[in-house]
Structure 1
Amino acid sequence: MGQTVKIVTDSTSDMSQEEAAKYGITVVPLTVNMDDQIYRDGIDILPPEFYKRLPKLSKMPTTSQPPVGLFQQTFEKLTSDGSQVISLHISGDLSGTFNSASLAAQGFAPGQVTVIDTRWVTAALALPVIKAAELARSGKEAPEIIQTIKDTLPYIELLAVADTLEYLKKGGRIGGLAALAGTILSVKPLFTIRNGKVDRFENVRTKRKALERIAEVVKTQWGPLERLAILHADSPDEAGELASMLASVFPLKDIYISMVGPVVGTYAGPKTLGVCAERKAI
């Protein structure tokens, strides 16, 4: 018999096609509208091309959640052999994706498709998704996987710095006054996710100070770690530097490096850099 539990996520997990294939994860894409062309996130447009084009666009890209029908088709295909599906998604406060998946799941028998709002995004979404896929491959049944993931989610952390506030401002994620202040004072706000929403963590003066502060928080406040990920929006050198700064608290070879995809990058902007982790439950 094949695997009886299959894992689904959406493209805001920023998993590469290779990474998803490695773990047997199905990724449902959101879309990006750029210059009146619609692209499937991570399929029709990949991060390197997106970040190359982003500064040259005449208007801000827009993004859309997957339609209910796409989730229906995905769930039908995956359950056709009798398998159960666990579908983990971006915070419902940041996107309507969870709602689309939930509506699609209503057309299936109870317990056949379970949809979870992780309350996270980007690599902080990818970490529990990968954990669920590992559990499924090890033969765990759906109720145990679901409970394990729900128990894990409160132990996820995210801390990031945007290189510029321009995209957060244009995307309506912060007020104009905050963006203006950041530009004038060269402030680099550190952001986190609290209760499923983007929230300011604190301000630092420079990108260098931001990297040092992120590393300090991970080392002194997050405690022992199960998993660690570095996220970057087309800034691989800084991502590598940050990973090296954290090698004293987590094996360098096990750090998951994630490039922020087009949908999340529309709001985060190029050169955003951050860390996500799963803390050990103690």
Structure 2
Amino acid sequence: MIKIVTDSSCDLPIDTLKEFEIPFAPLNIFVEDQTFKEDIDITPEEFWQSMSKSHELPKTSQPSPADFAGIFEEIQKKGDTPLCITISSKLSGTYQSAVLGAEMTGSKAIVFDSLAGSISHGIQVLIAARMAKSGATVEDVLSALRIYRDNVKIIIPLATVENIVKGGRLSKFQGSVVNILNMKIILHGVNGEVKLLKKVRGNKRFRAAIIELIEESA
């Protein structure tokens, strides 16, 4: 039987992961001088609160290969095949950690690169979990994941550039100019990477641009 594994960046609610019995490897989150295991030591709500209060953008690091190796071993002890779906390899080293975790244990785990983040990654995890529960083969699950991955359109509208400034991608001066001009930025996912798609001025144009992009994609 296939057993789905993921990492915490999929942004699925813990209750959903428990419902489908999906084990996950938590990313490490660094908020100023504190370290947390995502979705274990800190909830999403607590993270957002900490981020808004922090003067620096929180940083993350991928789970270790050992984190994945331990999960894979437990699954294989029960005679199941681990299928691990990770955040995009172009956004994090998590995919490589999972690959190394499989190699460390001689595991037969299959590691799939979602080429996405957040809920687009999470949807792939759900697709796989539902198919595995219904008895689908590994080949069928991977085929469905590739179809989704190749056709999904990811749009990332930024209502504020505050975190981009905190992260150093924009200077404080540039951030101030953007705010004064009421510029809104829309990013999108391109082959697993995040790139600039469009810049518009004003909230009305921002909303109109988002709706237009959704209509074009649909």
Instruction: Name the SS of the counterpart of 1:60 in structure 2.
Output: coil
The equivalent position to 1:83 in structure 2, one of 80, 83, 102, is: 80
Confirm whether residue 202 of structure 1 aligns to residue 198 of structure 2: yes
Of residues 221, 233, 254, the one that matches 2:216 is 221
Structure 2 counterpart of 1:245: none
Q: Is the 8 A contact 2:84 2:111 kept in 1?
A: yes
Kindly provide the CA deviation profile for residues 133-178 of structure 1, in whole angstroms up to 9, marking residues without a partner as x.
1110010111221122122211112112122212123324x34386
Q: 3-state DSSP class of the match of 1:203?
A: strand
* Matched residue, 2:101: 104
Residue matched to 1:192: 188
Higher strand share: 1
How many angstroms does 1:43 deviate by?
Answer: 1.7
Alpha-carbon distance between aligned partners in 1 of 2:16 and 2:205, rounded to the nearest angstrom: 31
Tell me the residue number matched to 1:56.
53
Alpha-carbon distance between aligned partners in 2 of 1:207 and 1:30, rounded to the nearest angstrom: 34
Q: Cα 1:37–1:121, aligned 2, differ >3 Å: closer, same or farther?
A: same
Runs of 5+ unmatched residues, structure 1:
224-282
Q: How many residues align?
A: 217
Q: Match of 1:103, as an amino acid?
A: L
Whether 1:5 and 2:12 are equivalent positions in the alignment is: no
Counterpart-to-counterpart distance in 1, 2:152 and 2:174: 27
Provide the identity percentage: 28
Contact (CA 8 Å) 1:16, 1:42: kept in 2 or not? no
Give TM-score, length-normalised by structure 2. 0.90
1:160–1:214: 8 Å Cα contact kept in structure 2?
A: no
Equivalent residue, structure 2, for 1:21 = 18
1:56 CA displacement: 2.0
Query: How many Å apart are 1:58 and its aligned residue?
Result: 4.2
Higher relative contact order (CA 8 A, sep 6+): 1
Structure 2 residue matching 1:151: 3-state secondary structure: helix
Q: Which structure carries more helix by proportion?
A: 2
After superposition, the CA RMSD in angstroms is 2.0
Q: Secondary structure at the match of 2:29?
A: strand
- Preserved contact between residue 188 and residue 205 of structure 1 (Cα < 8 Å): yes
Which of 133, 143, 147 aligns to 1:147? It is 143
**Unmatched 5+ residue regions in structure 2?**
none
Superposed CA deviations along residues 236-259 of structure 1, whole A, max 9, x for unmatched, are xxxxxxxxxxxxxxxxxxxxxxxx
What is the identity, as a one-letter code, of the residue corresponding to 1:151? I
1:123 maps to 119
